[in-house]
Amino acid sequence: MRILVTGATGVVGTEVSARLAAVRHTRVARRAPDASVVRWDIGSAPPPAALSGHWDVIVHAAASTRWTLGREEAFAANVGPLRAVLALADRDTHLVHLSTAYVGGVRAPEDLRGAEFEGFRNGYEWSKAVCEDIVAREHPGPLTVIRPPLIVGRRDTGAIARFSGPYTLLQALVSGLAAVVVGDPGGWAEIGPVDEVAAAVADAALSEPPSAPRTEVIAAGAGSLRLGELLDVVCGTLDECRAVHGAAPVPRPPVVATETWNRFFLPLAERYLSPFQHQAVRLLAMFQSYTSMAAPFEPTRTVRDPAAVMATAVRHWAARRPRLALARPTPWTLLAG
């Protein structure tokens, strides 16, 4: 069996490659740390000669997950590479395509970012939805789409190749930039450990190709954390880590309803906060809609006990980023008018 894994040095790709270690496979990434990874600037350069020939399975995990992408950036970062990968596939290639659970689900009106992203929260979501449409229409062979939620570290150790996404909240809490958390305390916050996401990908790659396109949704569903519960777990675990080193607890920020924040507080923040604080507000605003969803996802693979998963992820982050984890939060200050 000939297997190709794109994005092999990314958050999910790293874990998928570890799962496939006993099976011969080719790893591809834009930046190759050593000779074991084939360097390919997917979507911008032709494929290297090493990638020619038939592939039994292509795991497409390469993507830019930044929420700040504009429409053209998102298209170039995610749709372009997908088309380059499809050019390597044929009707006998099982394509395992990594998407995101947020192409589905319920979006509140305040989550949306206007006509630019056609009803999606940001360029990343929009581009992944476009990718799903393209693979469904254009790939002639077997197809499995994997839709994970926000991804955190391994269930057992919290280890992860890169701190991104949900880890933005941790850094904001210990630095004092998260003076408030915007959202609904009772809203749903879906997370999934990277090893379980990778297990779904690897299982698909090594299983009999489906006779019809298949979609796997990895989520806790009705067992998901609420936003208030997520904050309790994150702040409580951070405080445990800080107490070991004699650091004071992290102030737990109040939760402000999205409508109240956007109508009353955001205009003041934009006018009086420093540029750095304003940037933090903008990034956290993008995060808020992911942690206060009106309804959880319906999983095909259920994440059990997400509170334990989140606590382990926080402990690992704190151990790897001790200076950040033990920092003294700096309160917001307003600029003079």
Amino acid identity, position 64: S
Q: Other C-beta atoms within 10 Å of 320: how many?
A: 14
Read off the pTM.
Answer: 0.91
Using left for φ > 0, alpha for ψ between -120 and 50, and beta otherwise, residue 266 falls in: alpha
For residue 337, the tally of other CB atoms under 10 A from its CB is 5
CA–CA dist 124, 130 (Å, integer)? 10
- The per-residue DSSP string of 167-181 comes to HHHHHHHHHT--SSE
Encoded tokens for 301? 């693979």
Q: What is the pLDDT of residue 206?
A: 97
Residues in the chain, pLDDT under 50: 337
In tens, the pLDDT along 225-283 reads: 999 999 999 999 999 999 999 999 998 888 887 777 777 777 776 676 666 666 666 66
The tokens of 242 are what?
């800080």
Q: What per-residue confidence (pLDDT) applies to 181? A: 79
Contact between 78 and 138 (Cβ < 8 Å):
no
If one counts every other C-beta atom within 10 angstroms of the C-beta of residue 277, the result is 19
pLDDT at 313: 98
How many of the other CB atoms lie within 10 Å of CB of 222? 12
What pLDDT is stored for residue 278 in this prediction? 66
Report pLDDT for 255: 83
pLDDT at 52: 95
* Cα–Cα distance measured from residue 227 to residue 18, given in angstroms and rounded to the nearest whole number: 32
